[in-house]
Amino acid sequence: MDFYQPSLGHQFINGYQVQGQGPTLPRISPATGEELLEVDTATDEQVDQAVKAAATAFPSWSTLTPGERSDHLLAFARELQLHADELAAVETSQTGKSIRMSTEFDVPGSIDNVNFFAGAARNLQGLAAGDYAGNTTSMIRREAIGVIGSISPWNYPLQMAAWKILPAIAAGNTIVLKPSELTPGTSVLFAKAAIDAGLPAGVINVVLGDGPRVGSALVRHPLVKMTSFTGSTAVGLKIMSMAAERGNRVHLELGGKAPFVVFDDADIEAAAHGAVAGSTINSGQDCTAATRAYVHSSVFKKFTSRVAELMDAMVVSDPTDPDTDMGSLISEAHLDKVAAMVQRAEDSGAKVLAGGRREERPGFYYRPTLLVGAKQDSEIVQQEVFGPVLVALPFDSDDEAIELANDTPYGLAASAWTKNVDRAMRASAQIQAGCVWINEHILIVSDMPHGGYKASGMGKDMSQYSFDEYTNVKHVMLSHDPAAHRDWQDTVFKQR
Ligand code: NAD
C-alpha cells in the first residue's frame, strides 16, 4: 500500500499530504467496533493555507483551455483506475459497506464521473451569439467562480468527493474539500491521485475535521466564493445562513425520504426486488433510498410478503467478504438511532414483517427491516431514518398515492411501478422530486442530474446541469452601431 500512507496525515494542501495540527479524532471500525485509526485534523491556520493554495492556483487553472483541463482529468481517471482495488478496500474499511458495493458501484462510479467531466469540460454550453437590440451583438461567457469550499458526508465518501470536485474543477474553479471526519481516507486518496496524475498543486485540497470548527472555518473564509454541501437538511440550513453572511452562492444536496409507489398493475416480483435493493443499498444509508412504499391495497399482501422473504434471505455480515450483501452501519450512535426509531414505530402500533433487530456480531449491524401499520404522520414515515428500513402503507386510488408520496418535507427522489403509460407519465409529472424512476429505483448515471426539490436542497450534482452551479454567466454586449448618438439614447437625452 505505497499509494496511501496514513502516517503522513490526512490533509492534502497545495499538492502535499500533510499532518493536521488540530486535535486528533479516534475512528472506530464500523465493521468490528475496534479502533481503526487516529484521524488528524486541520487548524484554522491550515484551512487558511488550503484556501490560499486554491486561490493561488485559480488564475492559471481557470485560464487553461477546456481541452487542457480535459487532458488533466483524463489522466486523473487513468491514475484512479490503477488504484481501484485499494480505493475499494479503504472505502469498505472506513464505512463498513460491503466490498461488492465499493468494488462494483463506488469506485467505478467515481471514475466514470471523472471521465464524464473530462468530456463535459469541453462542452460548456451557452446561447449562440445573437443581435437583440439593433446594432449590437450579445454573447455569453461562462466563467469559473473562484475557490469553492465543499463539505461532504460519510455515506458515499469517494463518490461524494467526485461529485463535489469534478464539476467544480472541470469548469475552471479550484476547491478545498472537507470530507466527513468519519471517512477521510478515500478523499485524501482522490486528491493524491490527482497530483500523481499531474494536476497542478492547489487545484484540489482536502482538510479534515469536525463540521462546526473546520467546516464553518471553510464556509466563512473570505476567499471562498461558493459553498457546495452534501449532508443533512439541518446542517445545510446552517451552511446557508453562514454563506448568507457574505452573500455567497450555495449548492445544497440534502436529506431524502423517497417514496416507492406500487400500482395494482405493476410487476410485483420486479417491484419487490426493486424495493429490497432500493431500501438496503449501502445499508440504507442512501439519500435516495426507497423508504416509504405506497402499495395498492389489492396487491399489498403479495408485495409485502415477497419483500419480507427477500429481506430475510439477505446476508448481513463482514463487509470484506464478497458473499456479504449488506455490511454495517457507520457508527454505534447511528445504529442506536436507527434501532430507536424502529422501536418507537413499533411502540406506536407498527408491525415488523422482517428484521427489526440488530445483527448479533461485533460492529454496528442492523437487519433489513420491513414495517407495516405505521401512520402517514408518524416519525418513521416522515423523518429520515438513514438505515435499511422500509415502511409499507396501502392506498386505494391513484390520487391518494400521489398525495401520500408528496406528503413529507423532502423531495429528492421517488419511483413509480406500473405498466400503464398514463400512470407513469402522471406520476413523473406530479411527484415533487428531483428524480422519478419508473419501474426502477436507485440507478444513477454521470450524464444525468441529481438534486432535490423542497427540503432536499437546491442545485444539481453530475451532468452538464451541474455547471449552472459552478459558473457565472456573463452577458457581453458589443455595439457595432456607426452612429455616435444611438437612437435609444434619445430617451435619456435628445441630440441637439
Ligand atoms: P451531516 O449534515 O451531519 O454532515 C455532513 C458534513 O457536514 C460533514 O462533513 C460534517 O462534518 C459537516 N458539518 C456538520 N456540521 C457542520 C457545521 N456546523 N458547519 C459546517 N459543516 C458541518 O450529514 P452526514 O450525517 O454526514 O450525512 C448524512 C446526510 O447526508 C443524510 O441526511 C443524507 O440524506 C445526506 N446526503 C444527501 C445526499 C444528496 O445528494 N442529497 C447525498 C448523500 C448524503
In this structure, what CATH number is given to the domain that contains residue 152?
3.40.605.10
Same domain, 51 and 140: yes
* Residue nearest ligand 1's atom 14 by CA: 211
Would strands 435-438 and 413-417 be described as parallel, antiparallel, or unpaired? parallel
Distance of CA 239 from the midpoint of ligand 1 (Å): 10
Q: Taking residues 175-186, report their average pLDDT.
A: 96
Q: Could you tell me if residue 1 is inside a domain? A: no
111 located within any domain: yes
Output the domain CATH number for residue 395. Answer: 3.40.309.10
Which pLDDT band, with edges at 50, 70 and 90, does 119 fall under? Answer: very high
Residue 370 resides in a domain? yes
* pLDDT higher than 80, residue 293: yes
Residue 1 pLDDT level (bands cut at 50, 70, 90): very low
Mean pLDDT over residues 94-108, rounded?
98
Q: What is the pLDDT of residue 36?
A: 85
Local confidence band at 8 (pLDDT 50, 70, 90 cut-offs): low
| Structural domain includes residue 487 | no
For the CA of 254, the closest atom of ligand 1 is 41
Residues 361 and 226 in one domain: no
Residue 10 belongs to a domain: yes
Which of 121, 89, 92, 115 is closest to 4 using CA atoms?
Answer: 89
The mean pLDDT value for 407-432 works out to 98
Atom of ligand 1 nearest to the CA of 287: 34
Inside any domain, residue 485: no
Q: Which residues contact ligand 1 via a Cβ below 6 A?
A: 151-155, 178, 180-181, 210-212, 215-216, 219, 230-232, 235, 238-239, 253-256, 287, 384, 386, 412, 452, 456-457
Q: Which of 177, 240, 287 to mutate to test the pocket of ligand 1 (most atoms within 8 A of CB)?
A: 287
Q: Would you say residue 390 lies in a domain? A: yes
Tell me, yes or no, whether 190 and 76 share the same domain: yes
Cα 279 from Cα 284, distance rounded (Å): 5
Confidence of residue 37 (pLDDT cuts 50, 70, 90): confident
410/349 same-domain check: yes
Are 204 and 308 part of one and the same domain? Answer: no
Residue 486: its pLDDT value, please? 95
User: Same domain for 88 and 154?
Assistant: yes
The confidence band for 124, taking pLDDT boundaries of 50, 70 and 90, is confident
Ligand 1 midpoint to CA 152 (Å): 6
Q: How far is the CA of 236 from the centre of ligand 1 (A)?
A: 7
Task: Based on the fold, state whether residues 393 and 322 are members of the same structural domain.
Answer: yes
Residue-level pLDDT at 464: 96
Nearest CA to ligand 1 atom 42: 287
Same domain, 432 and 465: no
Is the domain of 226 the same as that of 324? no
Domain extent at residue 346:
258-438
Measured by CA distance, the residue closest to atom 39 of ligand 1 is 253
Active-site positions?
A: 253, 287
Is pLDDT above 70 for 2? no
pLDDT mean over 402-417: 98
Domain total in the chain: 2
CA of 85 from ligand 1 middle (Å) equals: 26
CA 416/CA 402 separation, integer angstroms: 10
Q: How far is the CA of 437 from the centre of ligand 1 (A)?
A: 24
Of all protein residues, the one whose alpha carbon is nearest to atom 23 of ligand 1 is 231
- Supply the pTM of this predicted model: 0.96
**What's residue 5's pLDDT?**
61
Residue 496: pLDDT band (50, 70, 90) is confident
| Reported confidence tier of residue 3, pLDDT bands at 50, 70, 90 | low
Same-domain status, 468 and 400 = no
**Does the pLDDT of residue 325 top 60, yes or no?**
yes
Whether residues 460 and 340 fall in one domain: no
Question: What pLDDT is recorded for position 126?
Answer: 75
Establish if 320 belongs to a structural domain: yes
pLDDT at residue 187 tops 60: yes
Judgement on whether residues 245 and 119 belong to the same structural domain of the protein: yes
**HEC secondary structure over the chain:** CCCCCHHHCCEEECCEEECCCEEEEEEECCCCCCEEEEEEECCHHHHHHHHHHHHHHHHHHHCCCHHHHHHHHHHHHHHHHHCHHHHHHHHHHHHCCCHHHHHHHHHHHHHHHHHHHHHHCCCCCCCCCECCCCCEEEEEEEEECCEEEEECCCCCHHHHHHHHHHHHHHCCCEEEEECCCCCCHHHHHHHHHHHHCCCCCCCEEECCCCHHHHHHHHHHCCCEEEEEEECCHHHHHHHHHHHHCCCCEEEEECCCCEEEEECCCCCHHHHHHHHHHHHHHHHHCCCCCEEEEEEECCCHHHHHHHHHHHHHCCCECCCCCCCCCECCCCCHHHHHHHHHHHHHHHHCCCEEEECCCECCCCCCCECCEEEECCCCCCHHHHCCCCCCEEEEEEECCHHHHHHHHCCCCEECEEEEECCCHHHHHHHHHHCCCCEEEECCCCCCCCCCCECCEECCEECCECCHHHHHHHEEEEEEEEECCCCCCCHHHHHCCCCC
